[in-house]
Chains A and B, each alone.
Chain A
Amino acid sequence: MARAGYLALGIFIIGCLWEAAIAIFALPPFILPPLASIGGAIWSEFPFLMRGLRATLTVAGAGYAVGAVAAILLALSMVLVPTIERVVKPVIVAINSVPVVAYAPLCLVWFGMGPASKIAMVILAAGFTVFVNALQGLQSVDAAGVNLLRSFGAGPFRIAWMLRLPAALPAIITGLRVAVVRSMIIAIVAEMLGAYEGLGRIIYESTQQIEFLTLWAAIIVASTASMIAYGILVVIDRRLVWWK
């Protein structure tokens, strides 16, 4: 509850600074529109913005889910079979050493203008974030604990399930949390580069058509959606990793 209060206070302060800047510097609306007109644009274009948001959330959500599961499985397989790590990890790092959006033109050619190309990019971006955290978590298990379980006759799978995964959970959840916001960012940027629908497309087109109120409305909707998604992950974090 207190957190929500601080959030509201923060938003209120930003709003005051915003309106003050317009008044003090006599900023015209195409530089910084008054908050009331942005609110009006959100209101009048609500169905349009929600259609865009749904498309963006679908892309971000699907890419996030697939990427996260694949990343955890991959990290797990590397812990179980170290050879996989030696072969696959350099490849993954190499792919991610350039910004994911650099693959956007290729993704558009391979997977088309529809959601598939955007999902592919989110899988790559979200997956990598979760992967790095998961691998680090799975590997940072106390050696004495592993040896103890081994002395009781536990195999590598049992050790992974009973010791490594629970121990890695805080790191994995951190990865999942960071990846939420990253998924939204990549989904929107990817949509700006070519898409049939989504908030990114609305942002791109309203820039080109000089609809600056629609542009701001789309940015605020995107930001609000990201914050809500992040908040949900924070709650999940507290429920799952209760011992922290």
Chain B
Amino acid sequence: MTVLGGVATAAVMVSGISSAMALEKVSMRLKWLTQAQFVGFYVAKAKGFYEEEGLDLTINPGGPNLNGESLVASGAENFAVAGGAENMLKSRAKGLPNVGIGMMLQRTPSAYIAHADSGIKSPQDFKGKTVSTFFTGAHNTLYAVLSKEGVAADDVKVVPQAVSLAPFVDRQVDVATVMMFNELIVLKNRGVDITVFEAEEYGVSFPSDTIITNETMIKDKPKVVQGFLNASIRGWKYAHENPEETIDILMEAAPSLDRAHQAAMLEGVSKLMVADKGTSEGIAVLDREKLEGVRAYLIEKGELPETVKLDDAMNTSFWAAVPDAYKKP
């Protein structure tokens, strides 16, 4: 007993010493290139929040052919800002050992746009029209909106959307999908006269930008997971409260970005982040009620087997343990 106890104490001491001496190296993958959508992590890094938690974090930008879910599942990355709630659930169905530990955007980030003179006044008018969307998860949201509005998916010609909005501006497609914190701002600034249909307005609330890690991390290094989440959420709260300084930090990390656009993006992201339970309970909360709604929708559409339960796909204990001072906006 004493021998075992001694060994355990020694082990605790060693690990304590090593963490005091050297920071634990961890990495995360963003779902897209460096931009204000992910600025909270850059703020936390610049402010030394990760170091305070004993972590040395490397932030790796994403790209069109990278997938955060796969990288975390394989262990190539410790954490990722991954896709929406639907991807969090679907990756469980595919056997990926990923677990959601936080959710950055409490509301659906996508909206649909039509030219103001097109005569399209509601999603019901999408019937017989060409609608472009991203087949990277966002298509689920579109189909959910159509289904809520009683439009059969077959009545709409849904095509994949190009990286640029040129086909929409040239009127090759009637309706296009936009991220409310990104393309929508660009179009409005250019003075394109458009009608906007926000998915949220039609009762489709699909939270997005899940913070994920894998089961091995949770089992072997729960303290690292907790430290990462503490620092990240703290960074996001700081970003929300200090937008000017936040954009300074972002511009230093990625000087080629357009400052004004990034400032507008941060404002847009903040609105989706500090919303609903993100306001009442705290930033990055996993809103069980909404997520259960997403799950029910996917099951109803045959996109998800019923065997995938919410608690397999996410672990709320880490978020619950984040100090209120860090997460309460």
State the A residues within 8 Å of B (CB).
28-31, 105, 108-109, 112-113, 192-196, 201, 204-205, 207-212
Given contacts A112-B167, A112-B172, contact A196 B65 (CB under 8 A): no
Instruction: Find out whether the CB atom of A210 lies under 8 angstroms from the CB atom of B160.
Output: no
User: Which residues between 54 and 76 of chain B lie within 8 Å of chain A, taking CB atoms?
Assistant: 64-65, 67, 69-70, 73-74
Shortest Cβ distance from residue B143 to the other chain A in the assembled complex, whole angstroms: 13
Given contacts A28-B95, A212-B94, contact A204 B65 (CB under 8 A): yes
Instruction: Find out whether the CB atom of A208 lies under 8 angstroms from the CB atom of B67.
Output: yes
Query: For residue B96, which residues in chain A have a CB less than 8 angstroms away from its CB?
Result: 30, 210
Q: Is B257 an interface residue (CB 8 A)?
A: no
In the complex the two chains form, what is the Cα distance from A93 to B3 in whole Å? 75
Q: Is B315 an interface residue (CB 8 A)?
A: no
Q: Which of A193, A209, A210 makes the CB contact (< 8 A) with B135? A: A209
Instruction: Find out whether the CB atom of B137 lies under 8 angstroms from the CB atom of A108.
Output: no
Instruction: Find out whether the CB atom of A210 lies under 8 angstroms from the CB atom of B163.
Output: no
Instruction: Find out whether the CB atom of B65 lies under 8 angstroms from the CB atom of A209.
Output: no
In the complex the two chains form, what is the Cα distance from A195 to B163 in whole Å? 10
Given contacts A29-B95, A30-B73, A112-B172, contact A210 B65 (CB under 8 A): no
Instruction: Find out whether the CB atom of A205 lies under 8 angstroms from the CB atom of B135.
Output: yes
Closest to B97 in A: A28
In the complex the two chains form, what is the Cα distance from A193 to B63 in whole Å? 11
Instruction: Find out whether the CB atom of B163 lies under 8 angstroms from the CB atom of A207.
Output: no
Given contacts A112-B167, A113-B160, A196-B159, contact A30 B94 (CB under 8 A): yes
Query: For residue A193, which residues in chain B have a CB less than 8 angstroms away from its CB?
Result: 64, 163
Given contacts A31-B74, A204-B64, contact A211 B164 (CB under 8 A): no
Question: What number of B residues sit within 8 Å (CB to CB) of A?
Answer: 26
Instruction: Find out whether the CB atom of B136 lies under 8 angstroms from the CB atom of A210.
Output: no
Query: For residue B172, which residues in chain A have a CB less than 8 angstroms away from its CB?
Result: 112-113
In the complex the two chains form, what is the Cα distance from A55 to B159 in whole Å? 15
Q: Is B91 an interface residue (CB 8 A)?
A: yes
Instruction: Find out whether the CB atom of A208 lies under 8 angstroms from the CB atom of B135.
Output: yes
Q: Which of B90, B94, B97 has the most CB of A within 10 A?
A: B94
Q: Is B316 an interface residue (CB 8 A)?
A: no
Shortest Cβ distance from residue B239 to the other chain A in the assembled complex, whole angstroms: 27
Instruction: Find out whether the CB atom of A196 lies under 8 angstroms from the CB atom of B73.
Output: no
Query: For residue A212, which residues in chain B have a CB less than 8 angstroms away from its CB?
Result: 70, 94
Query: For residue A204, which residues in chain B have a CB less than 8 angstroms away from its CB?
Result: 64-65
Instruction: Find out whether the CB atom of B70 lies under 8 angstroms from the CB atom of A209.
Output: no
Q: Is B260 an interface residue (CB 8 A)?
A: no
For this complex, 14 residue pairs linking A to B, each with C-beta atoms less than 8 Å apart, are: A28-B97, A112-B172, A113-B167, A192-B65, A193-B64, A194-B162, A204-B65, A207-B67, A208-B83, A208-B135, A210-B69, A210-B91, A212-B70, A212-B94
In the complex the two chains form, what is the Cα distance from A208 to B137 in whole Å? 8
Instruction: Find out whether the CB atom of B95 lies under 8 angstroms from the CB atom of A195.
Output: no
Shortest Cβ distance from residue B136 to the other chain A in the assembled complex, whole angstroms: 4
In the complex the two chains form, what is the Cα distance from A210 to B65 in whole Å? 12
Query: For residue B91, which residues in chain A have a CB less than 8 angstroms away from its CB?
Result: 210
Closest to B140 in A: A209
Instruction: Find out whether the CB atom of B67 lies under 8 angstroms from the CB atom of A210.
Output: yes
